[in-house]
């Protein structure tokens, strides 16, 4: 009798464990379903196994309502990380700008792969003209990957040739904008689009990420920055401080402040994963356990 009870207890534990484990997978899947794209569903198997890592680092977004504070901080840091290592003498440290975030989000919402017209990028956040980088992704790109992709164009730019141009037939403008010395203001937006204008079928259900830069980089006959002793060419009146080899107006790195604009501010939890899923999960586990117990007790006694 005692042995039977212990046996039943073990079975119950095992069953519960099984369901807990599998509901974890379900949760990961529902995150992906909330994202919409069918393509992402195919990635489920890959993601299901790595959900622990996914939670540990907030480097992916599960919504398309714009970047939250955490993601904006990552985007900014990824820009500054690359600006820091250019060995530049006149590099300004970047800071987040909520006006540029709004304009970038507005344009991301338009689901267009082409650049916004110059006339729409004037007088934003006090800048005469702002620059623009766009990244399309038909997969679940991480926020740092967005910047990494732009930066990877460094291979098509030869600073040592004292040129303002990219290598023949290559694109390097995204890279140059990321490291443009006086583009110190950054704001980015993202949208999950059913279709992306001028992008064809390859980009159904894709992310459109847009960053705006103030002032605009990629001036026609100028180098992105000047090499030399870090901060040696800072304008000491405007940027008297040198932080991480970059000219800064303040003695500390400015914190990112994302407010409003439906960006799911602050909270890291995806809005689309279903409000009642945890409760539902527990109920399912309880019901299943009860049913198992009943069946087993009938069989055993």
Ligand X SMILES: *[C@@H]1O[C@H](CO)[C@@H](O)[C@H](O)[C@H]1NC(C)=O
Residues that bind ligand X (CB under 6 A): 85-87, 162, 255, 257, 259
Question: Are 108 and 135 in contact, with CB atoms under 8 Å apart?
Answer: no
Q: CB 297 → ligand X: shortest distance, Å?
A: 58
Q: CB 152 → ligand X: shortest distance, Å?
A: 13
Please, which residues bridge with residue 214 across strands?
185
Q: CB 254 → ligand X: shortest distance, Å?
A: 9
Q: CB 264 → ligand X: shortest distance, Å?
A: 16
Q: Which helix (H) or strand (E) holds 94?
A: none
Phi and psi (nearest 5°) for 204? -70, 150
Question: Are 92 and 253 in contact, with CB atoms under 8 Å apart?
Answer: no
DSSP result, 240-292: -EEETTEEESSSSPPPP---STTS--S--S-TTS-TTHHHHHHHHHHHHHHHH
- Rounded to whole angstroms, how far apart are CA atoms 39 and 199? 16
Q: CB 213 → ligand X: shortest distance, Å?
A: 19
Question: Are 208 and 201 in contact, with CB atoms under 8 Å apart?
Answer: no
Residue 81 vs 129, nearer CB to ligand X: 81
Q: CB 187 → ligand X: shortest distance, Å?
A: 14
Residue 9 vs 266, nearer CB to ligand X: 266
- Rounded to whole angstroms, how far apart are CA atoms 166 and 176? 9
Give the up-direction half-sphere exposure of residue 174: CA atoms within 13 A in the CB hemisphere. Answer: 19
Residue 116 vs 183, nearer CB to ligand X: 183
Residue 141 vs 172, nearer CB to ligand X: 172
Q: CB 150 → ligand X: shortest distance, Å?
A: 15
DSSP result, 13-48: HHHHHHHHHHHHHHHHHHHHHHH--HHHHHTHHHHH
Residue 166 has what DSSP assignment? P
Work out the number of other CB atoms within 10 angstroms of the CB of residue 264: 21
Work out the number of other CB atoms within 10 angstroms of the CB of residue 1: 7
Residue 161 vs 198, nearer CB to ligand X: 161
Residue 87 vs 292, nearer CB to ligand X: 87
Residue 253 vs 296, nearer CB to ligand X: 253
Residue 68 vs 86, nearer CB to ligand X: 86
Catalogue the long-range contacts made by 171-174 (C-beta closer than 8 Å, 24 or more residues apart). 173/218, 174/133, 174/149, 174/150
Q: CB 145 → ligand X: shortest distance, Å?
A: 20
């Amino acid at each position: 009798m005692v042995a039977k009870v212990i046996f039943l207890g073990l079975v119950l534990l095992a069953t519960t464990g099984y369901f807990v484990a599998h509901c974890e997978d379900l949760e990961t899947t529902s995150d992906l379903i909330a994202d919409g794209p069918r393509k992402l569903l195919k990635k489920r198997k890959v993601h299901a196994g790595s959900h622990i890592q996914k939670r540990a680092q907030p480097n992916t977004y599960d919504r398309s309502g714009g970047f939250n504070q955490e993601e904006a901080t990552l985007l900014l840091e990824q820009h500054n990380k690359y600006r820091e290592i250019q060995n530049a003498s006149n590099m300004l440290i970047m800071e987040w700008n909520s006006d540029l975030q709004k304009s970038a989000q507005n344009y991301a919402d338009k689901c267009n792969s082409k650049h916004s017209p110059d006339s729409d990028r004037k007088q934003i956040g006090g800048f005469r003209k702002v620059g623009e980088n766009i990244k399309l992704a038909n997969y679940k790109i991480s926020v740092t990957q967005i910047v990494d992709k732009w930066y990877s164009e460094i291979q098509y730019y030869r600073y040592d040739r004292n040129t303002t141009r990219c290598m023949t037939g290559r694109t390097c403008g995204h890279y140059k904008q990321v490291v443009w010395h006086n583009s110190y203001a950054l704001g980015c937006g993202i949208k999950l689009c059913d279709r992306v204008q001028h992008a064809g079928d390859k980009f159904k259900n894709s992310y459109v990420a847009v960053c705006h830069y103030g002032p605009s980089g990629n001036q026609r006959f100028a180098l992105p920055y000047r090499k030399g002793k870090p901060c040696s060419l800072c304008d000491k009146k405007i940027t008297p401080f040198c932080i991480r080899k970059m000219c800064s107006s303040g003695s500390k790195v400015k914190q990112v402040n994302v407010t409003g604009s439906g960006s799911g501010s602050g909270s890291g939890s995806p809005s689309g994963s279903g409000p009642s899923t945890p409760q539902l999960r527990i109920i399912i586990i309880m019901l299943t356990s009860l049913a198992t117990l009943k069946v087993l007790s009938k069989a055993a006694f």
